A and B are shown apart, each in its own frame.
Chain A
Amino acid sequence: MESAAIIDPPMITPVSLPQQQVTSDSGSADVAPERPHAFAVERLSIFYGEKKAIEDVTLTIPSKMITAIIGPSGCGKSTLLRSLNRMHELVPNTRIEGKVLFAGKDIYAPEVDPVVIRRRIGMVFQKSNPFPTMSIAENVLVGLKLNGVRDRAFLRERLEQSLRMAALWDEVKDDLHKPGISLSGGQQQRLCIARAVAVEPEVLLMDEPASALDPIATAKIEELIHELSSNYTVVIVTHNMQQAGRCSDYTAFLYLGRLIEFASTTKIFTNPSERQTEDYITGRFG
């Protein structure tokens, strides 16, 4: 293990706040067109049975940036996030209208296999969920192994690389064979991040990844998200507005299934265009 070539964790480049590039201040998608985007959501509506969870949402999510989705409970922010890698389909009787383009292709086109989509668009959940039957190392590598990767040298290398990316390597390098669930809550969540990055997705979707953690563990996760954004497009759902303010480049504000405003985080938090956004940000409702 010591002799394995160590791939350095991604360099921490200070993410420049892109407020200068955002010129438009309309209520809907206003990301500067010259910035490459990962997702283009076009007039997306999502139904659970008869209930409409997302209504006519249009926005573009910039590539290799952190986009936060905020809004009060039940506003559809998790649903919107899950629709980006078709995880919301696990609930029976879901239906969508509109399009989600990822790298220019509609992920809901009939010939698209959701399994392939999810391999490219990873997800980290609110509740850390390392597999209880597996060791730390097995947890990290399960996505590769179950997709048929057998090369042991490659797996070993990817194990260390992934754990370093998740800022967990130094804490667990001597305990790789121990059960994943023997770690602390914050470590478990970072293990889940390592597991997600091990399959080299292009995007990481995070559904309130720090909401079950204490402040110190939360700070670590936020720092990690920042580092990850130099390699990945990150979309994070949070109901913690400070968190969105601290660690995102763009923020989408959702209310009752509708996109109220989408702009650079600085703009949303300092000079929102919409009255509802301002009311929510300043804590007048939500």
Chain B
Amino acid sequence: MKNNHLWRKTKSALASAASFVCALLVIAPLALVFLHLLRSGASAVNWSFFTELPKPVGVAGGGMVNAIVGSLELLGLAALVGVPVGVLGGVYLAEYGTVRGNWLLRFVADVLNGVPSIIWGVVVYGLVVLRFKSFSAYAGGLALGFIMIPLIMRTTEEVLLLVPAGYREASLALGISRWKTIVHIVMKTALKGIVTAILLALARVAGETAPLLFTAFGNRFWNHDLSEPIAALPLQIFSYAISPYDDWHRQAWAGALVLVVMIFFVNILVRFLTRERVARVL
């Protein structure tokens, strides 16, 4: 009996240790990547990195300001596509759809969420770039926007369904119309969740490179017209990383570091918002 007890305790300790090691294995890559980025990229993150255009080949220094601004422009364009369609799609799923229609819609959205992002690049290449015979910021924004739609749609649906039915009933019983109830009561109650959905989707597409290869294309100079190719941080990192120059490699590391830090802060913001929401509504 006593041995048996000891053996059980040993098994329990082994299982605990194994799950602890697995948890470490999850965290370790993030820590390692971040440390490596800091070591390799921190030295190239300086004032001129954020203020100067790329220098010609062979000239040291320069920065990626056009890529940073370009990424923000692309995210803005993507949000114009992804936010209205995604949020309203989520509203449809949560508030209007029929059981069978919703099943189909959710299935499609989930499949789309799993589509490799390069496919979106190819789709937009065919839809926009070939037709207008030019790579453009519009095409890049559209490709990123397409990726955002199913992400935002599903999360919006989930946070809207978290709003207790009692609030909808209370509003309708006041003689408030259905759409005003949805906009002013349900969406307002779930606003932080919806903002979270949007931010997470933006953070996800901010680092996308593949869909931009055939659409935004990249640009070593300022983009003055959104129907022209535009620089983006991930694209710039890609082209610098495969270049043969040490100085460009350092800048690629710096670009990667800046991108990761940006996404990191968005995630912190999301954490902050979701904690508030849980405390207030649920």
Q: Note whether A and B form a binding pair.
A: yes
Q: How many residues of B contact A (CB 8 A)?
A: 22
Known A129-B164, A132-B281, A146-B184; contact A120-B175, beta-carbon cutoff 8 A:
yes
Determine if B176 and A132 form an interchain contact, defined as CB atoms under 8 angstroms apart. no
Q: Which of B164-190 contact A (CB under 8 A)?
A: 164, 166-178, 180, 184-185, 188-189
Q: Out of B168, B174, B177, B191, which one reaches A142, CB within 8 Å?
A: B174
Q: Out of A116, A118, A127, A133, which one reaches B174, CB within 8 Å?
A: A118
Q: Which of A188-232 contact B (CB under 8 A)?
A: 192, 195-196, 199, 201
Residue of B nearest to A205 (CB): B173
Determine if B176 and A131 form an interchain contact, defined as CB atoms under 8 angstroms apart. no
Interface flag for B133 (CB, 8 Å) = no
Interface flag for B280 (CB, 8 Å) = yes
Determine if A122 and B166 form an interchain contact, defined as CB atoms under 8 angstroms apart. no
Residue of A nearest to B164 (CB): A129
Q: Bound complex: CA of A122 vs CA of B172, how far in Å?
A: 9
Interface flag for A267 (CB, 8 Å) = no
| Whole-angstrom distance between the Cβ of B105 and the nearest chain A Cβ | 17
Contacts of A252 in B (CB 8 A): none
Interface flag for A68 (CB, 8 Å) = no
- Bits for A128-167, please: 1 = Cβ < 8 Å to B, else 0: 0101110000000011001100000000000000000000
Determine if A132 and B173 form an interchain contact, defined as CB atoms under 8 angstroms apart. no
Q: Out of B172, B176, B177, B188, which one reaches A87, CB within 8 Å?
A: B172
Interface flag for A115 (CB, 8 Å) = yes
Residue of A nearest to B166 (CB): A129
Q: Bound complex: CA of A132 vs CA of B167, how far in Å?
A: 9
- Bits for B139-173, please: 1 = Cβ < 8 Å to A, else 0: 00000000000000000000000001011111111
Determine if A131 and B189 form an interchain contact, defined as CB atoms under 8 angstroms apart. yes
Q: Which of A31-63 contact B (CB under 8 A)?
A: none
Interface flag for A258 (CB, 8 Å) = no
Determine if A129 and B176 form an interchain contact, defined as CB atoms under 8 angstroms apart. no
Q: Bound complex: CA of A203 vs CA of B166, how far in Å?
A: 20
| Whole-angstrom distance between the Cβ of A208 and the nearest chain B Cβ | 13
Contacts of B164 in A (CB 8 A): 129
Residue of A nearest to B282 (CB): A132
Contacts of B166 in A (CB 8 A): 125, 127, 129
Interface flag for A123 (CB, 8 Å) = yes
Determine if A116 and B172 form an interchain contact, defined as CB atoms under 8 angstroms apart. no
| Whole-angstrom distance between the Cβ of B273 and the nearest chain A Cβ | 14
Determine if A199 and B174 form an interchain contact, defined as CB atoms under 8 angstroms apart. yes
Please give the residue numbers on chain B whose beta carbons come within 8 Å of chain A beta carbons, in ascending order. 164, 166-178, 180, 184-185, 188-189, 191, 280-281
Please give the residue numbers on chain A whose beta carbons come within 8 Å of chain B beta carbons, in ascending order. 85, 87, 90, 115-120, 122-123, 125, 127, 129, 131-133, 142-143, 146-147, 192, 195-196, 199, 201
Other contacts beyond A125-B166, A131-B171, A147-B175: 12, CB < 8 A: A85-B173, A87-B172, A115-B178, A120-B175, A125-B170, A125-B173, A129-B164, A131-B185, A131-B189, A132-B167, A146-B174, A146-B184
